[in-house]
Amino acid sequence: MKAEETAAPGAPLIGPHEIIIEPNQAWLRLDWGQLWEFRDLLALLIHREFASKYKQTILGPAWFILQPLMTSIVMTIFFGRVAKVPTDGIPPVLFYLCNQLSWNYLTTNLQTGTAIFLNNATLFGKVYFPRLVVPISLVLSNLFACLLQLVSFLLIYLGYVLLVPGTRGLHLSPSALFLPLLFIHTALLSLGVCLWLSAVTAKYRDLNQVVQLFVQLWMFASPVIYPLSKFPIKWRWLAELNPMTAILEAFRLCLLGTGTLTVESLVMSICGTLFLLLTGILIFQRTERTFIDTV
């Protein structure tokens, strides 16, 4: 066995690997090749996130479906029935469920992603790997939960169309084919915000407390409990500065056929997402390089 080992000194090791370590004050130092090299780790981290979250829980992954469902029901009762918030003529349950698809995905990402540095301090302090793998794995593992939620949404949707009279006007349009793109858009946006929040909270821990508040305020600023169409036209541009606005409206347009979406607002949302993502990567990179000295 020994002889074999020495005869073939680790086949995967071949290749001139040269690592140069020096202080790097440049803003962008992203080694995409490195990131690719650690793709196996990415897959395993996704698995870890997913498996560990629901080990030893009674309902397991069913929570992925139940939690947004219950939120939607509560919203239907309070905002739909009690406060009578208009829903663009869509049955309130479907309206809120549809909004929960993207909004719930975003908030789960933010909840799990904000404390990346703080939660992984011991790991980061002991072993090197591209830190970006961690937030990416979080966003992807949450995406899986989000897809489960989509399936449950479609089932309820189907039930609604078949069983409740007066909803025949609803139909899935071919624009539903854009859904994957929308999911990617949401994923990138939440990744960008996660990177920002994790970097900022690593430096200023007290901001951890503020994140919760920030998410809540963001929700009221986004058309989650109300449609954008109810926003005064004069101020609509203000609402469209929020990248989530276009995403929420687009989701509704794709799945339920009604939504206030303009090309400008979509382009603005995409630009905003890319801006957040790029700056997020930059600030995350900057934090990761010396973060460990500060804990």
Partner 1 sequence: MTKPIIEVQNLSKLYTLGSIGATSLREGVELLWSKVTRRPPLNGKKLTARFAPEQVGPVPHSFWALRDVSFTVQPGEVIGLVGQNGAGKSTLLKILSRITEPTKGRAILRGRVASLLEVGTGFHPELSGRDNIYLNGAILGMKHAEITRKFDEIVDFAEVDDFVDTPVKRYSSGMHLRLAFAVAAHLEPEILLVDEVLAVGDATFQKKCLGKMGDVARQGRTVLVVSHNMASILSLCQRAVMLKYGTVARVGPVQEIVHAYLESAKPEEVVALADRHDREGDGSIRYDSIAIENAEGGSIIRTGSRCKVTIRYKSTKPLRHVRFLLTIYDLTHVSLLQLDSEATGGLPENLPAEGTVICETDALAITPGRCYVNLDLVRGHQLADHIAYAAYFDVEEDDFYGTGKLPKREWTMTVLKHRWKAGCDTAAPLEPEGFKDR
Could you tell me how many residues of this chain bind partner 1 (CB under 8 A)? 45
Closest CA to 273 of 295, 244, 248: 244
- Applying CB under 8 A, among 79, 105, 117, 124 the residue interacting with partner 1 is 124
Looking at beta carbons only, is 81 or 205 nearer to partner 1? 205
92 phi/psi in degrees, rounded to 5:
-50, -40
**Site track 230-249 with partner 1 (rule: CB under 8 A), x = hit:** --------------------
Enumerate the H helices of 114-227 as residue ranges.
116-119, 121-126, 133-163, 179-203, 207-221
CB of 51 to partner 1, least distance (A): 6
**Euclidean distance between CA atoms 134 and 249, whole angstroms:** 30
CB of 228 to partner 1, least distance (A): 33
Instruction: Find the part of the chain contacting partner 1 (CB under 8 A) among 52-60, 80-88, 135-143, 233-241.
Output: 52-60
**Euclidean distance between CA atoms 85 and 230, whole angstroms:** 9
Looking at beta carbons only, is 165 or 290 nearer to partner 1? 290
Contact between residue 135 and residue 129 where contact means Cβ atoms under 8 Å apart? no
Residue 58, number of CB atoms within 10 A of its CB:
7
CB half-sphere exposure, 84, CA atoms < 13 A: 0
**Site track 83-122 with partner 1 (rule: CB under 8 A), x = hit:** ---------------------------------------x
- Applying CB under 8 A, among 4, 10, 58, 84 the residue interacting with partner 1 is 10
- Applying CB under 8 A, among 28, 77, 164, 203 the residue interacting with partner 1 is 203
CB of 117 to partner 1, least distance (A): 13
CA distances from 16 to 12, 13, 26, 292 (A): 12, 9, 25, 29
Residues lying near partner 1 in the complex (CB under 8 A): 5-6, 9-10, 12-13, 16-24, 38, 40-41, 43-45, 47-48, 51-52, 55-56, 122-129, 203-207, 289-290, 292-294
